[in-house]
């Protein structure tokens, strides 16, 4: 695998006529066609006076056009994919924060981002899907005919910013993370090497393409290995098995809540599962409960590879290895790209077996947040980036995450990891999904609550679940409140969010 340091050069690893991007029910586009799409796009952007340092916001539905637009636009400008579900107020915030020079939408889109962009004086251009998956044409009053092919000087370099993503902003103002071509390419190769991707592989992407997981693990890692990607319209548990049957992927990657929804429908799709031939299943972006990992492996007769990623690291930081190497359920594997260490509150690196904050450094790690010196001062200790995650490295170098530092429940001075409670409650046969979260307490500060989705085939009660927890947890860790829900609230990327869950579910303070 030839290692490139810009996204457009990743495409050189694909055979010209091999399928690069495809979609259910659509003709695939080849690597050669995708490379031509990049050239056309660079010409259009230069004609629009968009430079390599201008920021181009994209509001595109999940699918092959979003994937192709990201790859193509990044060759000549800075991409900023935004969630199409944002409100007008959210688009106003993000377009202003980005200081976007251009907004790209699909022809016929009724997104409120159009009106917002026009009000802010941001140019709006349209792209329309072509005959094959991932191919598109440019249109709009600002777009003219492009007569010349771009030269090498028109293309972005390795140290140019390729992508800006905002952090979720769960507890504070969202921060802008600038990722260079080099950051993204290094991470893409880290993923490809961890998974031993080859040109014959085909990823079924169900992750949103305004999130680092889908952009790097599914799209860039595959293209960099000369492999193909099936781009779906987004996650849909009802359609997953028909996509699996039609597109015959060799792997897919998802967050744990998606895996759980896929498992829920497995009993109705045994015929598809019998013919499925997945080489592995990948999980990342949130901790995968060991029980879910076991069920996935039994369902797909394939190893589940749990990885650890975050936006600031251009996704991957650690990854469990493929067989025959040892996979350790409950861990995210050893470092798989950057250096990974554990640091205490004073900034000292800790020995094996010590719990502390996970810190990373390496060529895939962003150099800092944009326009936010305060955040940079707290996020870095020397050249180590503080992830905000708590964890421990075992004697084999495998990392076990114990929780987000901001999510740790402080019950009268006793620190409780929500993930530990999750894993205990998931062992109860009637519990399908669980999220442990903090609720206010007048004397202790915080107490423990759990939101639970029950398995419809089993029955239980709050008293039984509390008794179950008491047998397995220290008294101060036993949930004070149980909240039963039909569906767990999720963020835009499918991740469960503990912070703010008490308010979202209307849970009153513990007495």
Q: Alpha-carbon torsion 39, 44, 50, 56, what sign?
A: negative
pLDDT band at 150 (very low <50, low <70, confident <90, very high): low
CA dist 276 and 246 (Å) reads 10
CA dist 171 and 297 (Å) reads 35
CA dist 148 and 146 (Å) reads 6
Span of 15-19, 69-73, 301-305, 476-480 with lowest mean pLDDT: 476-480
pLDDT band at 482 (very low <50, low <70, confident <90, very high): very high
φ/ψ of 466, rounded to 5, equals: -65, -40
Is it the case that residue 127 has pLDDT exceeding 70?
yes
- Which CATH fold would you assign to the domain 7-280? Rossmann fold (3.40.50)
pLDDT at 419 (0 to 100): 85
The domains of the chain are located at: 7-280, 284-298+307-359+366-404, 409-505
Is it the case that residue 68 has pLDDT exceeding 70?
yes
pLDDT at 510 (0 to 100): 64
pLDDT at 289 (0 to 100): 86
What tokens does 215 get?
């952009």
473-to-186, 268, 510 alpha-carbon distances in Å: 42, 36, 19
The 10 Å Cβ neighbour count of residue 108 is 7
CATH tag, 409-505: 3.30.300.30
pLDDT at 171 (0 to 100): 47
- Which CATH fold would you assign to the domain 284-298+307-359+366-404? Luciferase; domain 3 (2.30.38)
The 10 Å Cβ neighbour count of residue 405 is 16
The 10 Å Cβ neighbour count of residue 42 is 25
The 10 Å Cβ neighbour count of residue 266 is 17
Beta pairing partners, 419: none
pLDDT at 405 (0 to 100): 84
Task: Give the helix/strand (H/E) hosting 52.
Answer: none
Whose structure tokens read 């307490």?
Answer: 441
**Per-residue pLDDT averaged across 331-347, rounded?**
96
**Per-residue pLDDT averaged across 417-434, rounded?**
90
For 358-369, the pLDDT digits (tens) are 999 999 999 999
Q: Alpha-carbon torsion 493, 494, 497, 503, what sign?
A: positive
Here the contacts of 367-374 (C-beta below 8 Å, separation 24 or greater) are 367/178, 367/180, 369/175, 369/176, 369/177, 369/178, 370/164, 370/175, 370/176, 370/177, 370/178, 371/176, 372/175, 372/176
Among residues 358, 366, 359, the alpha carbon closest in space to that of 315 is found at 366
Q: What is the pTM of this model?
A: 0.86
pLDDT band at 212 (very low <50, low <70, confident <90, very high): very high
Judged by DSSP in three states, 93 sits in: helix
pLDDT at 172 (0 to 100): 59
> Chain-centre distance of CA 341, in angstroms?
22
pLDDT band at 456 (very low <50, low <70, confident <90, very high): confident
Is it the case that residue 144 has pLDDT exceeding 70?
no
The 10 Å Cβ neighbour count of residue 112 is 17
Span of 268-272, 333-337, 489-493 with lowest mean pLDDT: 489-493
Q: From the CA atom positions of the chain, what is the Rg in Å?
A: 23
CA dist 212 and 191 (Å) reads 12
170-to-167, 362, 410 alpha-carbon distances in Å: 8, 26, 19
Buried/exposed 367-381: b ≥16 CB within 10 Å, e otherwise: ebbbeeeebeeebbb
Buried/exposed 188-206: b ≥16 CB within 10 Å, e otherwise: bbbbbbbbebebebbbbbb
Whose structure tokens read 């299943």?
Answer: 281
pLDDT band at 1 (very low <50, low <70, confident <90, very high): low
Among residues 208, 201, 196, the alpha carbon closest in space to that of 168 is found at 208
């Amino acid at each position: 695998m030839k290692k490139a340091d810009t996204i457009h050069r990743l495409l050189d690893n694909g055979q010209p006529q091999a399928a690069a991007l495809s979609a259910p029910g659509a003709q695939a586009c080849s690597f050669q066609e995708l490379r031509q799409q990049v050239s056309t796009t660079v010409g259009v952007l230069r004609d629009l006076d968009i430079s390599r340092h201008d920021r181009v916001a994209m509001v595109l539905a999940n699918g092959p056009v979003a994937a192709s637009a990201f790859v193509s636009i990044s060759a000549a400008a800075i991409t900023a994919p935004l969630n199409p579900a944002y409100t007008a107020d959210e688009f106003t915030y993000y377009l202003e924060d980005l200081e976007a020079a251009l907004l790209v939408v699909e022809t016929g889109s009724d997104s409120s981002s159009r009106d917002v962009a026009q009000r802010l004086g941001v140019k709006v251009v349209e792209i329309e899907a072509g005959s094959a998956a991932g191919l598109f044409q440019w249109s709009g009053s600002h777009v003219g005919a492009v007569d010349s092919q771009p030269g090498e000087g028109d293309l972005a370099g390795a140290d140019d910013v390729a992508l800006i993503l905002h952090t979720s902003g769960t507890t504070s103002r969202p921060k802008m993370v600038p990722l260079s071509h080099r950051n993204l390419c290094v991470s893409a190769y880290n993923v490809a090497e961890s998974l031993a991707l080859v040109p014959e592989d085909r990823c079924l992407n169900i992750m949103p393409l305004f999130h680092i997981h889908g952009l790097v693990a599914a799209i860039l890692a595959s293209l960099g290995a000369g492999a193909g990607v099936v781009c779906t319209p987004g996650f849909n548990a009802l359609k997953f098995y028909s996509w699996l049957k039609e597109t015959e992927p060799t792997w897919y990657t998802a967050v744990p809540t998606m895996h759980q929804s896929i498992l829920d429908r497995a009993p109705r799709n045994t015929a598809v599962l019998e013919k499925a031939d997945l080489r592995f299943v990948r999980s990342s972006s949130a901790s995968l409960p060991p029980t879910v990992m076991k069920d996935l492996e039994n369902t797909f007769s394939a190893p589940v590879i749990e990885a650890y990623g975050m936006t600031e690291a251009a996704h991957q930081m650690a990854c469990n290895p493929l067989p025959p190497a040892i996979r350790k359920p409950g861990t995210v594997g050893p470092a798989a790209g950057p250096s990974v260490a554990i640091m205490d509150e004073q900034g000292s690196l800790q020995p094996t077996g010590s719990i502390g904050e996970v810190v990373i450094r390496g060529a895939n790690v962003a150099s800092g947040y944009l326009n936010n010196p305060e955040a940079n001062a707290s996020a870095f200790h020397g050249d180590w980036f503080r992830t905000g995650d708590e964890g421990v490295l075992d004697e084999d170098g495998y990392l076990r995450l114990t929780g987000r530092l901001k999510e740790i429940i402080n019950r009268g001075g006793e620190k409780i990891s929500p993930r530990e409670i999750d894993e205990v409650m998931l062992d109860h046969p009637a519990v399908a999904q669980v999220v442990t979260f903090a609720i206010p307490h007048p004397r202790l500060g915080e107490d423990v609550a759990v939101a639970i989705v029950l398995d419809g085939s089993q029955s239980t009660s709050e008293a039984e679940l509390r008794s179950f927890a008491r047998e397995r947890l220290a008294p101060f860790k036993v949930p004070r409140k149980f909240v039963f829900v039909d569906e767990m609230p999720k963020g835009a990327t499918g991740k469960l969010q503990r912070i703010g869950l008490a308010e979202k579910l209307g849970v009153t303070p513990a007495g």
